[in-house]
Amino acid sequence: MSTTSSPLATTPNPPLWHDAQRQAHFEAWLAPLVPAHDLLPHSLRLASADASFRRYLRLDCAGGAHASLVVMDAPPDKEDCQPFVHVAQLMAQAGLRVPEVLAWDRTQGFMLLTDLGAHTLLQAMDLQAPPPLAPYLDAVEALVTWQKASQPGQLPPYDEALLMRELALFPQWYVGTYRGITLSDAQRKVMDQAFARIVAHNLTWPSVYVHRDFMPRNLMIAGAGTPTLAAAPGSAPSATRLGVLDFQDAVYGPITYDIASLLRDAFHTWDEEFCLDVTIRYWEKARKAGLPVGEDFGDFYKGVEWMGLQRHLKVAGIFARLTLRDGKPQYLADTPRFIAYIRATCSRYIELKPLLRLVESIAGIEAPMGFAFGRV
């Protein structure tokens, strides 16, 4: 940890630097940007960090067009900023509200961005109250707007190889490393057959742009001060009322993925009635927009469930890896939510029952007589 004195160290809560040389590179990069953007260097503070090696810093501005700006600190040996820049351009061209890149040091991995605010949709919601429909309709509007702009060749394909690599995280990190279980040949066969069936089903759905982590934690409430989730009376859903973040891993893949991410959240579970309501509204809007969601909602909802199943298996593995490899134990606390999602979906479809029994055995869960969506 660096304790080097610097012009930026006067802020009450300066960011901590573990590499003095990287701190020096940062300060040299920032210096000419201070007058160009009316930045107040003493206000530099940590804004957020995510599950990657990136972190975000916030700087106040003395005036001009922005009250504050955000710096992305992405060590180039661990993070590639090019996909972020490319996807941000695609989203802005589609009409979404995303950070604008004002300056970029490609070599060192520093980026100056416009600030979408400090309140995520997840933070702004009262999780003990009924789910707020209006912001979810804004999210649906943004999602349809994003998908309508889809063009092949712009993003990496979400193909069988990538889907299978993601699924492999579950046996590697959740089963083997976290649970300490070595699967028998028979158990491995059950899992492999289930994974092949899940991927084959998911790839039957047409491809569009996929954010790949489209959930309330990555959607920002517009405006400063205390956020409000209520739209103006009579106002239509807006694709720009919510800002969109964490899109650098976007791909071109199944249209069922992002709506599954939105409603089967990594950090909170809504009742199935609400999830069905929003999914139906999305499906209707997508159909009117000419998106390939099919003519039968039942088929589409099955597609969403099976796509969500792939995501839940993957994320259970990722959260175990974040804890055990990357020293981020807060993620493992949400792993039971994903096991509940996995069990809920597997319990509905006879062809997934062998996987259900295997997952329950791995998680040490005694099979219940009945099952409710999203709940153990």
pLDDT value at residue 3: 30
**Residue 361 predicted with pLDDT over 70:** yes
Q: Give the pLDDT of residue 329.
A: 87
Beta strands in the chain (DSSP E): 45-49, 55-60, 68-73, 101-105, 110-114, 207-210, 219-221, 242-244, 251-254
Structure confidence at residue 33 (pLDDT)? 97
Model confidence at 224: pLDDT above 50: no
> Residue 367's pLDDT band (boundaries 50, 70, 90)?
low
> What is the pLDDT, as a whole number, of residue 48?
77
Mean pLDDT value of segment 111-126: 91
- Return d(Cα 306, Cα 265) in angstroms, integer: 15
pLDDT recorded at residue 230: 52
Cα 49 from Cα 57, distance rounded (Å): 9
Average pLDDT (109-132) is 90
Closest CA to 244 of 88, 126, 49, 57: 88
Q: How confident is the model at residue 286 (pLDDT cuts 50, 70, 90)?
A: very high
pLDDT, position 239: 62
What pLDDT score does 285 carry?
A: 98
Q: What is the DSSP string of 83-139?
A: HHHHHHHHHHHHT-B---EEEEETTTTEEEEE---S-BHHHHS-TTSPPPHHHHHHH
Nearest to 8 by CA among 47, 48, 54, 59: 59
Is the pLDDT assigned to residue 6 strictly greater than 50? no
Report all structural domains of the chain as residue ranges with CATH numbers, in order of start. 7-114 (3.30.200.20), 121-363 (3.90.1200.10)
User: Which pLDDT score, from 0 to 100, does residue 14 have?
Assistant: 76
Alpha helix segments (H runs only) across 203-296: 257-263, 272-288
Indicate the pTM of the whole model. 0.89
| pLDDT grade for 268, boundaries at 50, 70 and 90 | confident
Gap between the Cα atoms of 60 and 361, Å rounded: 52
Report for 3-17, 203-217, 317-331: range of highest mean pLDDT:
203-217
Residue 333 has pLDDT above 90, yes or no: no
- pLDDT band (50, 70, 90) for residue 155: very high
**CA nearest neighbour of 254 among 297, 199, 197:** 199
pLDDT for residue 354 is more than 80: yes
Pick the residue with more confidence: 254 or 49?
Answer: 254
pLDDT for 1 equals 29
Residue 160, pLDDT above cutoff 90 = yes
Judged against a pLDDT cut of 50, whether residue 369 lies above it is answered with no
Is the pLDDT reported for residue 223 higher than 80?
no
Rounded to whole angstroms, the Cα distance separating 147 from 290 reads 10
> Which of 106-110, 334-338, 365-369 is the most confident on average?
106-110
Please provide the average confidence, as pLDDT, over all residues in the chain.
89
